[in-house]
């Protein structure tokens, strides 16, 4: 294994490289000579195809694989169970079996939706999982199969991801705020928003330590610092974006989540406790509010709307 001052960069293959976390990870890795990033979208490596995985692994021979590919539409998953499980369970099983056979460690992302959300104070890695819907159950089973097929893994459970692009609550709120005079936001769902670039920072820090001999395989939680609600998060989004453009929204209405007519229940508490990541890798939580300021600045400076 390479040390801090290694001569050759380590090869990190990223699946789902055009997604929120995937693209931030690739960007960060490209700016760091420690890494050679192999950025693959679904055409470069389709995780539902064993043949495609084998071809990519044989061709690139990575030192690590980071799996960010997933099916993430929580409501749609209720009607699209087969597709959701094909990616989130079978896809990760394929990857785990192939990487296991070649002894390539995997860093895999998972979610707060594994929990039913009844613990207001939040969830640690040892807490029992009990998903409320198809998406959460598919991710739970994906985790299990990864543990079974490739013991050299890191499962990083994260929550409420936002970024400059992709399908996320921040961008959907901005779209609504440009056309609606009033917006409703759940005041009974608490969690910790996390920027995609912050998740990328954490993954990079973990891989560097693994590469320097930390045998710290297992499951970890990470999320942005400061527990909030969807209502308070929306308030922060509107206040931040309002500094760049005149939004149509004048009223933000706090409502119970059940009035928002979603297909599937969300955990009342999505709070992930991050002590294990801190004590094992020394990685601290970054405040989501400062991350939100950076992401909004990027959106408006680079006209990503
Ligand atoms: N978004 C969130 O709030 C949260 C996400 N997570 C987890 O974090 C990880 C990253 O999430 P995020 O960055 O938001 O994901 P995105 O949905 O932004 O990106 C997922 C990527 O996977 C790609 N993909 C789809 N099907 C395949 C396939 N068969 N083979 C390879 N790639 C495929 C997609 O490509 P295409 O666009 O072409 O379909 C997309 O680029 C996921 O594991 C997710 O479950 C956890 C908690 C919160
Ligand atoms: C439609 C709507 C929803 N909400 C609330 C209800 C619900 O708690 C939440 C739903 O927002 P989202 O669709 O972004 O959340 P959700 O689909 O739950 O998004 C998730 O993505 C998956 C992949 C994850 O793993 C989670 O961490 C989470 O970020 O927002 C409002 O407050 N106002 C609204 O107008």
Compute the distance from residue 145 Cα to the ligand 2 centre, in Å: 26
What total number of domains does the chain contain? 1
β 35-40/64-67 pair status: unpaired
Q: Is residue 40 part of a domain?
A: yes
Q: Which of 115, 110, 112 is nearest to 131 (CA)?
A: 115
For the CA of 160, the closest atom of ligand 2 is: 29
Q: Is residue 116 part of a domain?
A: yes
> Does the beta carbon of 184 lie inside 6 Å of ligand 2?
yes
Segments forming the whole domain that contains residue 73: 10-168+192-226+266-292
The CATH number covering residue 115 comes to 3.40.50.720
> Does the beta carbon of 140 lie inside 6 Å of ligand 2?
no
> Does the beta carbon of 186 lie inside 6 Å of ligand 2?
yes
Q: Is residue 218 part of a domain?
A: yes
Q: Is residue 253 part of a domain?
A: no
Running along the chain, 305 residues long, what does each successive block of 10 average in pLDDT?
66 98 97 97 98 98 98 96 98 98 98 96 97 98 98 98 96 97 96 98 98 96 98 98 97 91 91 98 98 97 83
> Does the beta carbon of 260 lie inside 6 Å of ligand 2?
yes
Q: Is residue 210 part of a domain?
A: yes
The DSSP secondary structure of the chain, one letter per residue, reads: ---TT-SSPEEEEEESTTSHHHHHHHHHHHT-TTEEEEEE-TTT--TT-HHHHHHHHHHH--SEEEE------TTGGGT-HHHHHIIIIIIHHHHHHHHHHHT--EEEEEEGGGS-S--TT-B-TTSPP--SSHHHHHHHHHHHHHHHH-SSEEEEEE-SEE-SSSS-HHHHHHHHHHH-SEEEEESS-EE--EEHHHHHHHHHHHHHHHHTT----EEEE---BS-EEHHHHHHHHHHHHTTTS--S--EEEEE-GGGG--SS---SB--B--HHHHHHH-PPPPBHHHHHHHHHHHHHHTT--
Provide the pLDDT for residue 6: 59
Provide the pLDDT for residue 51: 98
Cβ-based neighbour number of residue 73 at 10 Å: 15
Provide the pLDDT for residue 5: 56
Q: Is residue 70 part of a domain?
A: yes
Tell me the best of 114, 262, 263 to mutate to test the pocket of ligand 2, counting ligand atoms within 8 Å of each CB and taking the most: 262
Q: Is residue 286 part of a domain?
A: yes
Q: Residue 247 and residue 269: Cα distance in Å, rounded?
A: 30
Q: Which of 123, 115, 104 is nearest to 57 (CA)?
A: 104
Compute the distance from residue 73 Cα to the ligand 2 centre, in Å: 10
> Does the beta carbon of 235 lie inside 6 Å of ligand 2?
no
Predicted complex ipTM: 0.97
Ligand in closest contact with the CA of 173: 2
Q: Residue 58 and residue 272: Cα distance in Å, rounded?
A: 36
Provide the pLDDT for residue 297: 97
* Verdict on whether the full-model pTM lies above 0.95: yes
Provide the pLDDT for residue 259: 84
Tell me the best of 14, 16, 192 to mutate to test the pocket of ligand 1, counting ligand atoms within 8 Å of each CB and taking the most: 16
């Amino acid at each position: 294994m390479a040390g801090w001052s290694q001569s050759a960069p380590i090869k990190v293959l990223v699946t789902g490289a055009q997604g929120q976390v995937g693209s931030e990870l690739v960007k960060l890795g490209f700016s760091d000579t420690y890494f050679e990033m192999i950025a693959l979208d679904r055409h470069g490596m389709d995780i539902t195809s064993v043949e495609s995985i084998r071809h990519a692994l044989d061709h690139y021979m990575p030192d690590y694989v980071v799996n960010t590919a997933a099916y993430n539409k929580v409501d749609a998953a209720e009607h699209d169970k087969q597709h959701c499980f094909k990616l989130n369970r079978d896809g990760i099983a394929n990857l785990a079996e192939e990487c296991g056979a070649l002894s390539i460690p995997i860093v895999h992302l998972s979610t707060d939706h594994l929990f039913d959300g009844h613990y207001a104070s939040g969830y640690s890695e040892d807490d029992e999982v009990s998903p409320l819907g198809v998406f959460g159950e598919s991710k739970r089973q994906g985790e299990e199969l990864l543990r079974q097929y490739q013991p050299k893994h890191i499962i990083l459970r994260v929550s409420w991801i936002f970024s400059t692009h992709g399908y996320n609550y921040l961008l959907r709120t901005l779209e609504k705020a440009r056309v609606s005079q009033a917006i409703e936001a759940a005041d009974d769902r608490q969690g910790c928003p996390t920027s995609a670039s912050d998740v990328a920072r954490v993954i990079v820090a973990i891989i560097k330590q693994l590469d320097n001999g930390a045998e710290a395989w297992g499951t970890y939680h990470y999320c942005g610092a400061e527990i909030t609600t969807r209502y308070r998060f929306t308030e922060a989004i509107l206040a931040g974006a309002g500094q760049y453009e005149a939004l149509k929204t004048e009223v933000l209405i706090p409502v119970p989540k059940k009035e928002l007519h979603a297909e599937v229940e969300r955990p009342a508490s999505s709070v992930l406790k991050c002590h294990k990541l801190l004590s094992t890798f020394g990685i601290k939580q970054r405040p989501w509010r400062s991350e939100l300021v950076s992401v909004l600045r990027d959106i408006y400076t680079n006209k990503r709307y």
